[in-house]
């Protein structure tokens, strides 16, 4: 044991005399792939090339290398999956991981590791208006600031990636983070003219009059035609018994002899009926990235 200690001290002394320092061991690294689901809006991150290739084969857009992670460190980044929304979440906070698992998220193990030396920050943003793809992680500060400017919430640094061996940030190619742009299109109302009933059809009854010869009592002026001969005689006799003129005379009078039915058709008006109200529609016209690119 003493011999080993003496050997270490001797090596350190030689290094000091030669003006050299021990070389730091190179950290093994892994490229972290970034993919985007154009249907759900979710970004997905993985160091597994097979998983990356599978997702790209079923419609995910491969967006290149997001950052470089250490193959191993003391700071794991946990990966979880929401079976209800189909969303993934990543965090190095064990408490956050445990809480999400307790409310139904599936814990999928350690996704990768964070750099203990905090080389390259991965900025975390949250979209309060989305149901999937609610979080985004990027090394690009410009991308972070742009998303925050359009309503995402900055949530600080999620974890760290590695710097290169020259202690410079690893050059990660810009990854477009497309934001949909919409145009308001106004649609006029639609309708038609239709008839409606102002007055229902009705039947009018009109009396019919004719000039008819009638027998009129001279004493009282009554129309005694319908009494018949015996009745007329009795009527005249009663007047004479009281000393009145018992005669009668004939005259032509206008008498109602029936009715005529006149049919009046229904009366209609025209009015405008709205079938569909006017409305404004937001129409997708393209996408813009924080770098200014459009598609």
Task: State residue 152's pLDDT score.
Answer: 92
List strand residue ranges (DSSP E) for the chain, in order.
Answer: 29-36, 43-46, 61-70, 76-81, 88-91, 106-113, 120-126, 135-138, 153-161, 179-187, 190-199, 202-217, 248-264, 267-276, 279-288
Task: State residue 173's pLDDT score.
Answer: 58
pTM flag (> 0.85)? no
Task: State residue 178's pLDDT score.
Answer: 81
**Residue-range domain boundaries for the chain:** 25-175, 202-264
Contacts with 42 (C-beta within 8 Å, 6 or more apart), sequence order? 36, 86, 87, 88, 132, 133
Task: State residue 19's pLDDT score.
Answer: 46
- Segment 253-280, tens digit of pLDDT: 888 889 999 999 999 999 999 999 999 9
* Run means of pLDDT, 10 residues per run, the chain, 295 residues: 44 46 58 91 92 93 93 94 91 93 94 94 91 87 90 93 62 70 94 94 93 89 88 88 86 90 94 94 87 77
Angle in degrees, CA 99, 105, 106, rounded to 5: 115
Task: State residue 58's pLDDT score.
Answer: 92
- Segment 140-196, tens digit of pLDDT: 998 899 989 999 999 999 999 998 644 454 455 566 778 889 999 999 999 999 999
Distances 37 to 111, 116, 241, 262 between C-alpha atoms, Å: 19, 30, 122, 77
Q: 41, 111, 32, 37: which is closest to 66 by C-alpha?
A: 32
Q: 100, 115, 212: which is closest to 158 by C-alpha?
A: 115
Whether 203 contacts 263, CB under 8 Å = yes
């Amino acid at each position: 044991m003493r011999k080993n200690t003496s050997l270490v001290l001797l090596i350190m002394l030689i290094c000091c005399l030669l003006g050299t320092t021990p070389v730091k061991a190179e950290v093994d690294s892994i490229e972290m792939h970034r993919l985007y689901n154009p249907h759900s809006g979710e970004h997905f991150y993985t160091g597994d090339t097979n998983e990356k290739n599978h997702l790209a084969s079923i419609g995910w857009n491969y967006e290149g290398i997001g950052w470089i992670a250490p193959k191993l460190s003391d700071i794991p980044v946990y990966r979880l999956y929401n079976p209800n929304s189909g969303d993934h979440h990543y965090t190095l906070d064990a408490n956050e991981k445990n809480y999400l698992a307790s409310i139904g998220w599936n814990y999928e193990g350690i996704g990768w590791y964070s750099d203990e030396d905090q080389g390259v920050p991965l900025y975390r943003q949250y979209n309060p208006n989305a149901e999937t793809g609610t979080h985004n992680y990027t090394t690009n500060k410009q991308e972070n600031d742009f998303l925050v400017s359009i309503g995402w919430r900055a949530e600080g640094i999620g974890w760290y990636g590695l710097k290169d061996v020259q202690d410079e940030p690893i050059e990660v190619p810009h990854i477009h983070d497309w934001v949909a742009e919409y145009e308001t299109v106004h649609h006029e109302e639609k309708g038609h003219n239709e008839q409606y009933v102002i007055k229902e059809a009705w039947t009018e009854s009109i009396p019919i009059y004719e000039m008819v010869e009638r027998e009129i009592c001279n004493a009282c002026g009554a129309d005694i035609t319908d009494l018949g001969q015996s009745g007329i005689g009795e009527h005249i006799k009663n007047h004479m018994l009281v000393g009145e003129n018992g005669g009668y005379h004939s005259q032509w009078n206008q008498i109602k002899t029936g009715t005529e039915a006149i049919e009046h058709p229904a009366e209609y008006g025209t009015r405008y009926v709205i079938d569909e109200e006017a409305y404004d529609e937001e129409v997708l016209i393209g996408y813009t990235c924080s770098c200014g690119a459009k598609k």
